[in-house]
């Protein structure tokens, strides 16, 4: 009789909700942490797999750039409205949608027969990752009512993401060397299945009315896509060629449309009044520059170790292990340092160290001892890991409480955009003449990143409020 009654409930759509985890259950946190970790690992792990992808699918440098940027650009652009989607659908449902799409797109990446199909699947992956990130935080907020326990859960979530940034290259190298580059994407399938199983044991989330800004969202995607196309393809097609000029026109026109849409929408993704706050504008510029430097370096060095130094994927990945330890440890120390000397000083210090990191890497060549290359990478890990936690806290304190989520999403979007555009620019410089690794191109890229960070360091020192 019990089985018959349960079946009837399922048929009539009145099946009882899944049992909520007991108070203090780690299930929602583990589900959120796994999702955030896997979408973060996918960025840096793929960097190490790029040479093998190029050899297998016969793509050029532009193709490699698109493999990275198709993911990052969609991640950046769609993150602007992904929080509203999580509110409308409920955190658990939106998270399940994001994880399901990410898992399916990962399978499509692993089965891709050519560069074009792989890039298309990476677009879907990036869109899914944009949903996963804010929904995972909302899931934690739902699971922990006590502020202290919630703070500890978010700290674990943050540390997991930071560790994933640096563990990704090692994992990417091991998988690529041992089972081929497709294994980097296949790994996401069992992880996705585990997350969905955990979500089945998580309480349903409330749904809240949250208007979607479709015109603003579409124009943001077109603006970033047009800009990235112009930068990536400009060196190959010619900076004054018709496709590049058309892409630039799309970027400018879409940017103007985005501004007009945000000005008129009753609930814009990016309230323009927020951008007129000086601390907010400076924080966004700093976030952009910090990610541009960090992601630019990891992209450059992943290719440097393999294409110029002839290292295997595993060897190249292991070169990033010290960076993993430095980032994780420094992230934990940054809040304490900010309490002692003030957040503004920590933001300035972190940027200055990261700018120094760009300059100390300039002498790298084919004969640089590997131990010295490891030492020269230390400031890269320290600088970004010191600056970002303090920068985020500074930004949140600069806006009204009801705008904290919007400001945080905007910062993350600008950071991802900085990473995507640095890969686009550095890849164009790196290709040089022909499709070979170019040391002069690498040095120009590092110099551009270093000078940009010097500029935002000065802005932060001058314009951020003292504390």
Per-residue 3-state assignment (H helix, E strand, C coil) for 307-347: HHCCCCHHHHHHCCHHHHHHHHHHHHHHHHHHHHHCHHHHH
How high is the pLDDT of residue 20?
47
What is the pTM for the complete model shown? 0.79
Determine the angle formed by the axes of helices 404-431 and 439-463, rounding to 10 degrees: 150
How high is the mean pLDDT of the chain? 83
Question: CB of 230 within 8 A of CB of 120?
Answer: no
Token pair 């929904």 is found at 135
How high is the pLDDT of residue 2?
37
Question: CB of 57 within 8 A of CB of 245?
Answer: no
Q: Is the pLDDT of residue 146 over 80?
A: no
Name the band, by pLDDT with cuts 50, 70 and 90, for residue 403.
Answer: low
Question: CB of 133 within 8 A of CB of 412?
Answer: yes
The model's pLDDT over 186-214, given as tens digits with 9 standing for 90+, comes to 999 999 999 999 988 877 766 666 677 78
Q: Which residue has the higher pLDDT, 13 or 378?
A: 378
The rounded percent of the chain whose pLDDT value lies above 70 is 89
Q: Kindly tell me the number of DSSP H helices and DSSP E strands found in the chain.
A: 18, 0
What is the Cα–Cα distance from 29 to 91, expressed in whole angstroms? Answer: 13
* Pair of tokens at residue 415: 């950071």
User: What are the residues whose beta carbons fall under 8 Å from the beta carbon of 193, sequence distance 6 or more?
Assistant: 103
* Range from 77-86, 128-137, 251-260, 361-370 carrying the lowest mean pLDDT: 77-86
How high is the pLDDT of residue 292?
92
How high is the pLDDT of residue 10?
37
Give the range with max mean pLDDT: 10-14, 35-39, 79-83, 428-432.
35-39
What is the Cα–Cα distance from 27 to 149, expressed in whole angstroms? Answer: 14
Q: Give the residue ranges of DSSP H helices in 22-146.
A: 27-57, 61-89, 91-111, 115-143
The model's pLDDT over 25-48, given as tens digits with 9 standing for 90+, comes to 788 888 888 998 899 888 788 888
* Pair of tokens at residue 34: 């796994």
Q: Which residue has the higher pLDDT, 161 or 333?
A: 333
Name the band, by pLDDT with cuts 50, 70 and 90, for residue 401.
Answer: low
Q: Is the pLDDT of residue 288 over 50?
A: yes
């Amino acid at each position: 009789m019990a089985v018959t009654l349960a079946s009837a409930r399922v048929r009539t759509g009145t099946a009882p909700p899944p049992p909520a985890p007991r108070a203090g259950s780690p299930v929602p946190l583990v589900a959120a942490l796994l999702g955030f970790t896997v979408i973060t690992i996918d960025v840096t792990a793929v960097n190490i797999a790029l040479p093998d992808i190029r050899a297998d699918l016969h793509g050029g440098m532009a193709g490699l750039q698109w493999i990275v940027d198709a993911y990052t650009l969609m991640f950046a652009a769609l993150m602007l409205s992904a929080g509203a989607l999580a509110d409308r659908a409920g955190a658990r449902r939106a998270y399940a949608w994001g994880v399901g799409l990410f898992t399916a797109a990962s399978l499509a990446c692993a089965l891709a027969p050519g560069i074009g199909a792989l890039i298309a699947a990476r677009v879907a992956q990036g869109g899914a990752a944009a949903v996963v990130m804010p929904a995972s935080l909302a899931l934690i907020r739902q699971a922990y009512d006590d502020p202290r326990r919630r703070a500890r859960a978010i700290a674990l979530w943050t540390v997991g993401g930071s560790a994933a940034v640096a563990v990704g290259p090692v994992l990417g190298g091991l998988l690529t060397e041992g089972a081929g580059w497709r294994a980097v994407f296949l790994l996401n399938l069992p992880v996705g299945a585990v997350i969905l199983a955990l979500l089945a044991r998580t309480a349903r989330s409330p749904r809240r009315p949250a208007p979607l800004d479709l015109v603003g969202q579409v124009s943001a995607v077109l603006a970033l896509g047009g800009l990235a196309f112009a930068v990536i393809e400009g060196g190959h097609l010619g900076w004054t060629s018709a496709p590049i000029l058309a892409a630039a026109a799309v970027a400018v026109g879409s940017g103007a449309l985005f501004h007009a849409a945000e000005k008129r929408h009753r609930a814009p993704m990016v309230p323009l009044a927020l951008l007129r706050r000086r601390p907010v504008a400076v924080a966004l510029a700093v976030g952009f520059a910090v990610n541009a430097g960090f992601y630019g370096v990891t992209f450059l060095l992943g290719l440097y170790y393999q294409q110029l130094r002839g290292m295997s994927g595993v060897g190249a990945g292991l070169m990033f292990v010290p960076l993993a330890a430095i980032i994780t440890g420094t992230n934990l120390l940054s809040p304490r340092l900010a309490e002692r000397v003030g957040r503004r000083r920590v933001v300035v210090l972190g940027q200055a160290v990261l700018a120094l990191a760009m300059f100390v890497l300039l002498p790298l060549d084919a004969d640089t001892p590997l131990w010295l290359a490891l030492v020269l990478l230390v400031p890269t890990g320290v600088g970004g890991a010191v600056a970002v936690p303090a920068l985020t806290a500074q930004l949140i304190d600069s806006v009204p409480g009801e705008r904290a989520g919007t400001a945080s999403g905007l910062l993350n979007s600008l950071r991802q955009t900085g990473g995507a555009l640095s890969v686009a620019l550095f890849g164009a410089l790196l290709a040089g003449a022909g499709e070979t690794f170019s040391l002069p191109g690498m040095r120009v890229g590092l110099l551009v990143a270093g000078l940009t960070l010097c500029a935002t360091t000065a802005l932060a020192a001058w314009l951020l409020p003292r504390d």
